Amino acid sequence: MNLFDNGIKTLQHSPHKNSISSNEVVSMTTTDNNELWLGLWRKGVDRFDAAGNKIAHYNHDENNPGSLTPGNIRQVYIDHQQQLWVSTSLGLNKYNTQQDDFQRFSYEEDNASGLCGPKVISLSSSSRGLWLGTRGNGACFLANGSAEFIHYPPIPNSENNLNHSDVSVILADGDGIWMGTEGGGLNYLNTFRWRVTERWPQTVQAQTS
């Protein structure tokens, strides 16, 4: 099957080895060399070579430290440096092109510079690095070339901090970071001041009431 032909083409799971792993596709992204990455609910990640019609499968394997973290796939994402990231309900994964495997980042409660939460549900990036939104633990930032995360935990009664623990969508623009929460409205982090400078909970509530 050639995806570049005219018309709609369908990829579905089948017993055939060269099919996608599941019909429940929750996220996708493409690379500069026309590879399509699919995040699949409960079935890991597939890499589809559109030109060669070849599909590679990646899943969690407790005996393989280079496999994905356990949990359901939440997002597959390509950052500003063309680095592939995969977030799951139990961690974050960085794809190693040369080794064709993943570096895992798992949550450790007592690690102040580690991943800020286990359930990574949203990803975005700027020229400085990767931004992550979590369910239950706010947001965090991983600078390019660093292995240490900067945490932005929720502090509801603080004027210049994130006001909700669930960051369901995160977006980096030229001047700051937009964080949409599940109950606290919209927060804006000014990356020149490195603090939350704006919130719009009343506006969001009015639009959804």
**Model confidence pLDDT, tens digit, residues 160-207:** 788 899 999 999 987 789 999 998 889 888 877 655 655 555 444 434
For residues 50 and 32, the answer to whether their CB atoms sit within 8 Å is: no
pLDDT, position 51: 73
pLDDT band at residue 146 under the 50/70/90 scheme: very high
pLDDT, position 184: 86
Residue recorded with tokens 């979590």: 134
- pLDDT tens track for 64-80: 999 999 999 999 999 99
Q: What is the mean pLDDT of residues 9-17?
A: 80
Buried b (16+ CB within 10 A) or exposed e, 176-207: bbbbbbeebbebebebeeeebeebeeeebeee
117 three-class SS? coil
CB-count exposure of residue 29 (10 Å: 0-12, 13-18, 19+): middle
CATH class entry, domain 107-208: mainly beta
Of residues 49, 58, 121, 127, the one with CA closest to residue 87: 121
Higher pLDDT, 131 or 18: 131
Per cent of the chain over pLDDT 70 is 87
Judge whether residue 159 has pLDDT over 80: no
Q: What is the mean pLDDT of residues 21-28?
A: 94
The CB density around residue 39, as the number of other CB atoms within 10 Å, is 24
Judge whether residue 2 has pLDDT over 60: no
Higher pLDDT, 175 or 95: 95
Q: How far apart are CA 98 and CA 70, in angstroms?
A: 22
Tokens in use for 12?
A: 């579905």
pLDDT, the chain, mean: 87
